[in-house]
Amino acid sequence: MSRVYNFSAGPAVLPEEVLREAAAEMLDYNGTGMSVMEMSHRSKPFEEIIQTAEKDLRDLMNIPDNYKVLFLQGGGWTQFSAVPMNLMKNGVADYIITGSWAKNAWKEAKKYGTANAIASSEDENFTYIPDCSDLPIDENADYVYICQNNTIYGTAFKTLPNTKGKDLVADVSSCFLSEPVDVTKYGVIWGGVQKNIGPAGVTIVIIREDLIRDDVNPATPTLLKYKTQADKDSLFNTPPCYGIYICGKVFKWLKKMGGLSAMKELNERKAKVLYDFLDSSEMFHGTVRKEDRSLMNVPFVTGDKDLDAAFIKAASEAGFVNLKGHRSVGGMRASIYNAMPEEGVCKLVEFMKKFEAEHK
């Protein structure tokens, strides 16, 4: 068996320790004689799994009691609809367009009400985060929406927008648990876990209780209504049981690593190794405005498509895989999520140096 350094944007690398534990428990979870995959979601052992997962997530993020944690299915795209269907009370919302995911969310919201694009960085292919200190927030807006870390373009909000008192809704799919957050600054924090937490299939929604309403858009499907799942502690119907179990293990791992402050330190150190090299290299260049750089997704280019392709191929042969950039940016992208070891980033940079020297 040999593991590679996997720089995939998602589904992405998981902590090896978590995978080993899951493997050891595969046939017989905790003396039950069965796998977590084979277990009723109403059983005692699973109840304990989901409750412990929620408790550990609450500890990690310091989630206040007036916020509900929901473990859902459906991924990012489902939340693009669920958010407006549940939260558009006045039928108005403001969107900040910092990339494809924010734009898709905005387009979806337009089906349910007035969704204003109040800022955008599309003019420069989303290579920066617009100034959000004084935006034209609609006075009837039910919420202001952001994608906090732009997976494809490699930008991140370093300060949250001034929402002028409106509730902030954030898609944190690709920066979930990468650093401490002040949950009270948000109405809703949601993310698909397949980027920075666990396996595809689980979507976590953290929502302030007063935003969980019964009088939502009447066309809202039962399962997309937050109240349905909130009232049943995410067990209205069958949840993504195995995925939740793995997420729970990742939460334990994060606690053992020292929690989110320690992860932030580690993530900053990892990103610095790569960005410092990009800033000094003559061959490789970052594509994003420096002050808006993501700690999680690092796009870079050589400026020559053939050289990019040669690099990706050589890197892959050397065990650094999934470095191909998204088609809308081109070049390369290294996703260096929580579970990417520091050693993986250092070795990648060594490899890039060697490649540069050999291709001068």
Q: Which residues does the annotation mark as catalytic? A: 101, 171, 195
- Mention every residue, 6+ apart, whose C-beta is less than 8 A from residue 126: 98, 99, 100, 150, 152, 153, 155
Closest distance between ligand PLP and the C-beta of residue 76, in Å?
A: 3
Give the residues across from 70 on adjacent strands.
205
Residues 189-248 that bind ligand PLP (CB under 6 A): 192, 195
Q: Which of 81, 151, 322, 335 binds ligand PLP (CB under 6 A)?
A: 151
Closest distance between ligand PLP and the C-beta of residue 140, in Å?
A: 26
Q: Which amino acid, residue 281? A: S
Q: Give the separation between CA 301 and CA 324, rounded to whole angstroms.
A: 10
Task: Identify whether the C-beta of residue 85 lies closer than 8 Å to the C-beta of residue 109.
Answer: no
Residue range at the interface with ligand PLP (CB under 6 A); choices 29-37, 75-83, 233-241, 274-282 = 75-83
Exposed (0-12), middle (13-18) or buried (19+): which is 11, by Cβ within 10 Å? Answer: middle
Residue 5 or 101 with smaller CB distance to ligand PLP: 101
Number of residues lying near ligand PLP (CB under 6 A): 12
Residue 172 or 283 with smaller CB distance to ligand PLP: 172
Residue range at the interface with ligand PLP (CB under 6 A); choices 168-176, 236-244, 268-276, 351-359 = 168-176
Give the residues across from 188 on adjacent strands.
169, 207
Q: Give the separation between CA 329 and CA 325, rounded to whole angstroms.
A: 6
Question: By CB under 6 A, is residue 171 in contact with ligand PLP?
Answer: yes
Closest distance between ligand PLP and the C-beta of residue 77, in Å?
A: 4
Question: By CB under 6 A, is residue 275 in contact with ligand PLP?
Answer: no
Residue 86 or 174 with smaller CB distance to ligand PLP: 174
Residue 102 or 212 with smaller CB distance to ligand PLP: 102
Residue range at the interface with ligand PLP (CB under 6 A); choices 37-45, 54-62, 73-81, 323-331 = 73-81
Q: Which of 5, 6, 10, 130 binds ligand PLP (CB under 6 A)?
A: 10
Residue 147 or 247 with smaller CB distance to ligand PLP: 147
Task: Identify whether the C-beta of residue 202 lies closer than 8 Å to the C-beta of residue 75.
Answer: no
Q: Which of 174, 234, 302, 335 binds ligand PLP (CB under 6 A)?
A: 174
Q: Which of 15, 76, 187, 199 binds ligand PLP (CB under 6 A)?
A: 76
Q: Which of 147, 168, 204, 339 binds ligand PLP (CB under 6 A)?
A: 147
The string of DSSP codes covering 10-63 is SS----HHHHHHHHHTSSSSTTSSS-GGGS-TTSHHHHHHHHHHHHHHHHHHT-
Q: Which of 163, 173, 196, 287 binds ligand PLP (CB under 6 A)?
A: 173
Closest distance between ligand PLP and the C-beta of residue 156, in Å?
A: 10
Question: By CB under 6 A, is residue 326 in contact with ligand PLP?
Answer: no
- Mention every residue, 6+ apart, whose C-beta is less than 8 A from residue 133: 161, 162
Q: Provide Rg for the chain, Cα atoms.
A: 21
Q: Give the separation between CA 315 and CA 309, rounded to whole angstroms.
A: 10
Question: By CB under 6 A, is residue 75 in contact with ligand PLP?
Answer: yes
| Helix/strand/coil percent split, the chain, to 5 | 40, 15, 45
Task: Identify whether the C-beta of residue 168 lies closer than 8 Å to the C-beta of residue 146.
Answer: yes
Give the residues across from 95 on adjacent strands.
117, 145
Tokens of 309: 């392709």
Residue 79 or 229 with smaller CB distance to ligand PLP: 79
Site residues (CB under 6 A) for ligand PLP?
10, 75-77, 101, 147, 151, 171, 173-174, 192, 195
